[in-house]
Amino acid sequence: MKLLLFFLFALWIIIGFFNVAYNSKKAISEVKEWFFLSDYEKRHKIFGDLYDFSLFLNQHTERDAKILLFSKDGMMYGVGRYYTYPRDITPAKDKNDFIRLIKSKQFKYVLFYDEKMTIDGYEQIAFFKSKTAVNFGSLYKQK
């Protein structure tokens, strides 16, 4: 039992030193991978089109805009909310929820991400097309 414990403990120390070496080596590859990227490129690398779409939203709406979002990608709401604050985004859970919310007429903008739908009382003001993937989005404004 003692011997096994001694062995495990020694292994732990060895793994610790291995981690130091591994992390030092990784630091070099991380420099190559991240250091020379611009802020935009870094965020795009982490969040992909979701970040671009958030910038698109910031570009086409006012700071205090109330926006209804329809997307099956749950990340879109999270990332969008973080990058577009103080804009107020409300996500629709599904199609029925979307129809219920749109009838309330409290949203100046309606946003579709990777979804298509026609809605009365709104007009399309901008269209987003991904540079690198097949993602797309449309922004509608209340007439």
Partner 1 sequence: MNALITSLTILFISSLGFIIIWGFRLLPPKNNLLAAAYSYGLGVGLISMQLFIYARLHIPWHKELLIFPWLVLIVVLLIKNRKAIHLRLPKKPKLGIFEYLLLVGIFLTISYVVFEALIRPVSVWDSWAMWLFKAKIFFMDGGVFTSAFHYEKSGYPLVINFLGTFIYLMLGRVDDSAVLLTSSAFYLSLALLFFCSLNKKFSLRYALLFTFLLITTQNFIRQGGRIEAGQADLPLGYYAFASLMLLFNYLKNSDKKSLLLMNIFVGILSLIKYEGIPLGIAIQLFALIHIYKHKLYTHLWYLLFWVTPLIDWQVYRTIYQPQNSYFESHRLILSFNKIVNAIFGTIKEFINLKSWNMLWIIYFYSLFWVKVKYSKELVIANTIIFFQLSIYMTMYFFTVGNGPESSIERLLIHIAPIVLFSLAVRLSKSPLSFNNILLKKEQ
Q: Give the footprint of partner 1 on this chain (CB under 8 A).
A: 1-2, 4-6, 8-9, 11-13, 15-17, 19-20, 23-24, 26-27, 30-31, 34-35, 39, 42-43, 46, 78-79, 81-82, 85-86, 88
Q: Which is nearer to partner 1, 2 or 116 (CB)?
A: 2
Q: How many whole angstroms separate alpha carbon 122 and alpha carbon 98?
A: 14
How many residues belong to the chain?
Answer: 143
Query: Which residues pair with residue 70 across a beta bridge?
Result: 112
What are the helix (H) ranges across 1-143? 2-30, 39-47, 49-60, 74-84, 95-103
Minimum distance from residue 143 beta carbon to partner 1 (Å) = 27
Minimum distance from residue 94 beta carbon to partner 1 (Å) = 19
